[in-house]
Chain A
Amino acid sequence: MTVSQILSVLVFVGAYILIATERVHRVAAALGGAGLMLALGLTNGETAFHSLDAGVDWNVVFLLLGMMIIVGVIKQTGLFEFLAIAAAKRAKGKPFAVLAMFVVITAVASAALDNVTTVLLIAPVTFLVCDRLGLNPIPFLIAEVMASNIGGAATLIGDPPNIIIASRSGLTFNDFLVHMGPFVVVMMAVFVLVCRWLFRSAFHYDEKRVAEVMALSEREAIRNKTLLVQSMIVLALVLVGFVLHSALHVEPSVVALLGAGLLVLISKVTTEEAIEDVEWETLVFFMGLFVMVGALVNTGVIGQVSKALADAVGGQPLLAVMALLVISAVLSAIVDNIPYVATMSPIVSDLVDAQGGGPQAESLWWSLALGADLGGNATAVGASANVVVLGLAARNGTPISFWQFTRYGLVVAGLSVLLAAPYLWLRYFLFA
């Protein structure tokens, strides 16, 4: 290894440890690492900001920005509260039926919105309905956050790792729907059944309290009907744009930005309100990560790792897919899946190229996505949405401990991998 390669690995590993252990804020760690990479000459401004392979992936950053603006406006309409309360009433307040409905709403919403936003929207309604029914909200919250991680895996925009994978691989929105969607639908059906068993003790309730749920008025949740209609039209246009983006030769980030701009333009939402929910920290974190990973590409570390891995699994593509699935799930359970996928994407890209780039080789991307998205369910810190739900639960006076979450998480994540493995094998190898 050259000196520059050793230095880049040291800086990267140091920053990664800081991110994983949360000794410093993850943004500070990523930016600090990126700054050091630049200061040590392991990358340069031209590469960091303008290179497609070794620089900041602006497609990812602007796709996230556009969707955050759209979601920020949709949040103000009360649509989510309307849907959730209507669902609870349709379930006639029966706890398992309510949980199943909330879980499905969360998964579907997570496919179109980011997971953290989805759980932020569903959690308050969950507290309200559980309060009314005299139920413990913890099983509901755990099930919802897991559903958001599962549902988010279905689409290009559902989970940040998917956005990174799409940008690095060139896979389209439709590719994600076709390859990830079917698995996610099956996984969700299994997950709902598993919830019946996992949380079986949480479904005892007082039938007299059902009236308290039935008395809630979901129509009152819609605060601004005009904004709701405008938001739905724009969201529909954006989703159509995503479906057609490859045919139109337009990047998903452009679709999202156009949608965000259109929504701000036609609605009476002020610019300040529209960008209020933009998570600038997350965007800056991504930029820092991309510069660090770019330095590893620039110094040739990624190339060497890819070559070593390609040699190790050469001629055994099934082994590569399965190993990537399991390793991704395990690592994503322990550390944030965003830096993991940002690091692995250039490696997987090289491996796909080394295997000739056909559909079987491309299954490596689906293996990475499934492992990283679903592995996050294993522990309380495996995904950003998990951490957010733990915080919300604590603020509500119903704290969820790390192990309380993890003992359910390990079952669901383990089951996900057990289902994903045969799915990948059947679809891309046996019936390829």
Chain B
Amino acid sequence: MAINWFKYSAPTTFYSLAGKLIPWFAVAAAALFAVGMYIGFYIAPVDYQQGEFYRIIFIHVPASILSMFLYLIMAGYAAMGLIFNTRLSAMMATAIAPTGALFAFISLWTGALWGKPMWGAWWVWDARLTSELILLFLYLGFIALHASIDDPRRADRASALLAIVGSVNVPIIYFSVKWWNTLHQGSTIKFSGTSMHVAMQQAMFIMLVACWLYAIAVILARVRSIILERERHTKWINELPEVKHVA
């Protein structure tokens, strides 16, 4: 059976597909957030060094992972938009940026809240913290650059270049704790496995999945609005029941 991969790369079909998927992702995300928080705050044991303070890890680590992965996905969509000249790719990149920026901000914010009681400082200019801050600025730069150019197709191309160049920063964030000496500790979850206690691992994994589902739901909702806005002159948009109703 031949699958038509390109069917859903058209905004027309993707718009309705996204609309159907959003509630599922949103409900699953809410349920997993509840379960993950419960395990993280009630079932996972205290840490031998950090006591209760370490529990912020269940938000801090998933947010950091998402901020880095979403950047790579955003840069991937931006590159696809440049190479194949597909409309939807650039719209996806634009839709991902605010969520990525949000996760980068949460990562930095929870990191500061964690750093003060444990390290003794809200912030240090070590390689891990600084490169994550640069990631936040890259997201904000991408959003600002896209918003500053009136013609959306030109805005797509300019911001796509920024996104692609900035992707060099992601491996730097990941390996920073290995390449240089930093105040931030090394990776707990490595490619070779983890030394973490089982209940802690479960809580973190569930929170990570919940963050993914939330990110997907929000990004799909955002890309739907972008499609509506940018394709507003087309016939199919004006034939949508929700658009007709308003008009």
Partners in one complex: no
